[in-house]
Every structure is written in structure tokens, then in C-alpha cells.
Amino acid sequence: MSDESQELGITESKSHKPGEWYAEVVQKAGLADYAPMGGFIVTRPRGYALWERIQETLDGWFKDSGVDNVYFPMFIPESFLEREKDIVEGFDPEVAWVTQGGHDELEERLAVRPTSESIIAPFMADWTRSHRDLPLRLNQWCSVVRWEATETKPFFRTKEFLWQEGHTAHATDESAWEEVWTRLSQYERVFEELLAVPVMRGKKPEHDKFPGAKTTTTVEALMPDGKSVQSATSHHLGRSFAEAFDITYADEDEAEQTAYTTSWGLSWRALGALIMTHSDDQGLVLPPTIAPTQVVVVPIWQEDTKADVLEYAEALTADLEEAGFRVELDDRDERNPGFKFNEHELNGVPLRLEIGPNEVEDGEATFVHRPDNEKVVEDRDGLVDAVDDHLETIFEKLYDAAAENLEENVREAHSPEEILGTIGKHGGYVKTPWCGDEACEEAIKEKIAAEIVMQPLEDQGGTTAGDVVEPDRDECGVCGDPADEVAYFAKSY
């Protein structure tokens, strides 16, 4: 048992060694393991359950807003990928290539899909004949592979990752913009309402758009270590893909028109952001909205009180179950309460109910919050309401802490020295007027691993691109040239 106790605890510190700490939380809380091949992970039951909840939530919203799920082949012939060269100069995808099938060399290499525009677009062209077929909204939940040689970081950086990719076609530019903002809003909601992670919405700078896109919009979350996570993106593809793949339709006058397309995706990076944002040196911390187990009931007994305590704990667990909470009674004989407390803390159970002989006698239950260990004694009567309230409070604590971190870490700067100094000292976002020239980003990037992660927008959510927020001053924070945009610099994952 001493071995297991040692194994159980997190040994690294979030503030001192965030990378090592993160890897330890992921593994010890049973979320994922490293696969034998570098760049790949094995997603364990507790990790996959989190992904399933994101899927379920987002998929419901997608379906309610007119999206149909489909499944396209995981392989894309090289010649199909090549067609993207018409759209994107210097397109050179880093992908895994299948070159042999059985014992034979393939005549044409097949790419394991890095994203599916090039295989989906030709079918969208087939299925889009009349204006009545539009908008066409398709989505698939699948895994994709990008052969990038970076250090593996579960959920953040893996060669294979799980995601959803949406692909839509529209008759008008306005309809496409509406789509882009609808999906971005749904992503924002997933982060804010399900993961308790506040995000900022904006667009990527022109030079950092998705290849072939007219505009890439993004939601960005700030991690406690001061780095930004690009959490999900929604692209307006203009007519470039439609032109390259002949996505046309007959309008009401039977005239042929070219469609507008969009694509949008959220990957399991969302899990990375979730874990990194809330967890601590005791292990995983989860908001009750996504926690597979929301409440754990831990009975504390001596031999002579065991029967009474267990009976009380069982009845109370049954009540909570019936009320619809995801609750677990930990009545294992072979573990003592201390061990159980640690284990459930490690695994990120938001609310613990301790039940000892005193609680039984007084008709009460002791509530303990994760992560701050706040202890409150509540009456057995009205327990269901009390649990509801406490779970809400725990969600708010987590959300508020993350929102405070975000709020405190957006700083203004108006010279290269100030930008570098601020990021170097505090991390977080540095907001500055920008002339729009990529060279200014390069100038910062050369000195410190930070880039323009986002440009905030006015009037998001309509049927247009919206305007980039105008700066308070009109000189670029890097080069001093005239500037009419605002840029957010940050280090990022």
C-alpha cells in the first residue's frame, strides 16, 4: 500500500514545473498514457469520458442548428490533396503516407487525413445542384494525423488527435458569415459553460489564417502559466475552395453560381485547456458540469458504527442518484478514508460528502469542495438542493478564478521594448496597435517566443466579417508606422 500511496500523489508543482506537472496529472488521474510511438497517446476511460461529454454537448447544438453528421474515408489520395495547391501557394502538408496495402506498393500514395476539405469538397460539389440544397452543413467526428516533429504533450500536441470538422456551403456571403459566427459562439459556450474556461473571440492575423481561408476566427484561452491556447477555429473560406472544387448551384433563375464555404473544428485540445486551467498540485480539478463523477460519498466508520453509517450513506447516495446527479458511494473495505480522499482529489471529483457517526446522529452531511477544501455541514433534509447549490458554487469558483487570471493578464504596451518586457515578466496577452505588417510580428518573435494570437473584433455575430477593433493610439506598437488595428501578442501552445 505504501507503494501505491506514493504512486498516487502528484510530485511536481504546477507553478514551478508546469510541463512536468501537467504530464503527471494526465497520467496519474488516469486520463491518458503515452503510446509506444512518439507523438501518440492512449486515451483512458476517465479521459475519454470527458471527450464524450464535449461531443454530446456540441453534437446536440450542431444538430439543433441544422448540421448533419457524415463519415468520409480516413485516406485522401495524393492527387486530391494536390488540388489544394490551386488555392494555397507552397502547400506542403506534413502527413502520414500509406504507401503499401497488404504486400503491394500502392500506385498512388494515400495521406492519412490531416483535415478533410480536399476529400469532402468534391462530394459537396456533387450534392449541391440547386439553391434549395443550400445551406449544406456537414460534420464528422474523427481522428486526424499531422506529422509534426514536436515533443508530445497529451491533448495539446499529438500527431494523431480527435476532433470534429464541420464543412458547409452557402448561397451567399452573409449566410456563410452567419455560419462562421454561429459555430464560434457554440465553441465559446462549450468553453465557458461546460469547461468553466473563459475565452476571448477574435480573428487570426492575415498571415496566420488557415491555408485558403478568407478569414480565420478563433477562441483563445489563457493558461495559468501565461500562454494562450488556440482552442477552436471557424473559417470563412470565401469562394476559393468552391472555385477549386466546382461547388456551384443553380439559383432561382437557373443561373449557375459559385457557393461560399466554411469549415470549423474543435479538437481534444479543449481537454488540455480544461486540465491545465483548473488542476492543482493535488491533481485533477474538474467543474461539475463535465466531471464524470460529480459527488463522491465517503462513509467513515469504526466496527461498531459501520452498519449505521453505511445504511445512512447508501440512502443518501440513492437520493442523489435519483435526483440525477452523477454520484458514487465509495464503500471499499480495503481503503481507509484518507486514502479515498486523496484518490478522489487526484481524480478531480468536485464535491465530497463525508459521512461519519456524528453526521448520522445529527442528520447531516459534511460537504468538502474541490479544489479549495472548503468544508460546510448541511442538513440531511434538503440535501438534493444543497448539493445543487454547492456544485454551482464550485463551478463559479473555478470560472471566476480563470476569469480573474484572464482579466489581470491583458496588458497594453506601445513599444517593442515594452511588449517584450511585459511578456517576459508576466506572460499573458499584450495588446498593442498594429500596422498589419507580418514583419512586426517577426521582430517580436525573434526575441521571444511570442506571436500575434488574436485580433479582437467589433460587432461579432452578424452576417458580415465585422470590423477589427481600432486602437486607442494610431502608431504601431512595434514599428511606429500608422496603425488601425489592435493585435494581441502572447506565447502560445
Q: Which residues bind its own copies (CB under 8 A)?
A: 33, 35-37, 40-45, 48-49, 51-52, 68-75, 77, 80, 94-103, 109-110, 112, 119, 122-123, 126, 132, 138, 142-143, 145, 147-149, 159-160, 162, 334
Q: Which is nearer to its own copies, 143 or 257 (CB)?
A: 143
Q: How far is the CB of 69 from its own copies (least distance, A)?
A: 5
Give 159 or 269: the residue with its C-beta nearer to its own copies. Answer: 159
Helix (H, G, I), strand (E, B) or coil at 36: coil
Most distant CA atoms of the chain, gap in Å: 86
State the minimum distance, in angstroms, from the CB of residue 60 to its own copies: 12
Grid-cell match 462549450, residue found: 190
Name which of 148 and 470 has its Cβ closer to its own copies. 148
Tell me if 8 sits within 8 A of 28, measured CB to CB.
yes
Minimum CB separation from its own copies for residue 493, in Å? 21
Residue 479 CB-density burial (10 A; 0-12 exposed, 13-18 middle, 19+ buried):
middle
Other beta carbons within 10 Å of 421: 14
If the CB atoms of residues 95 and 219 are measured against its own copies, the closer one turns out to be: 95
Residue type, 113: R
Smallest distance from the beta carbon of 180 to its own copies, in angstroms?
Answer: 21
Which residue's CB is nearer to its own copies, number 123 or number 339?
Answer: 123
Q: Minimum CB separation from its own copies for residue 102, in Å? A: 4
What's phi and psi for 314, nearest 5 deg? Answer: -65, -45
Per DSSP (E only), the strands in 300-390 are 327-329, 351-355, 364-369, 375-379
CA pair distance 383, 404, nearest whole angstrom: 31
Task: Give me the amino acid identity at 169.
Answer: A
| Nearer Cβ to its own copies (75/91) | 75
C-alpha grid cell, residue 276: 491545465
C-alpha cell recorded at residue 387: 448539493
Taking the least distance from each CB to its own copies, the nearer of 45 and 338 is 45
Instruction: Provide, rounded to whole angstroms, the least separation between the CB of residue 35 and its own copies.
Output: 5
**Preceding amide of 114 cis, omega within 30:** no
Cα distance between residue 294 and residue 289, in whole Å: 8
Minimum distance from CB of 194 to its own copies (Å)? 18
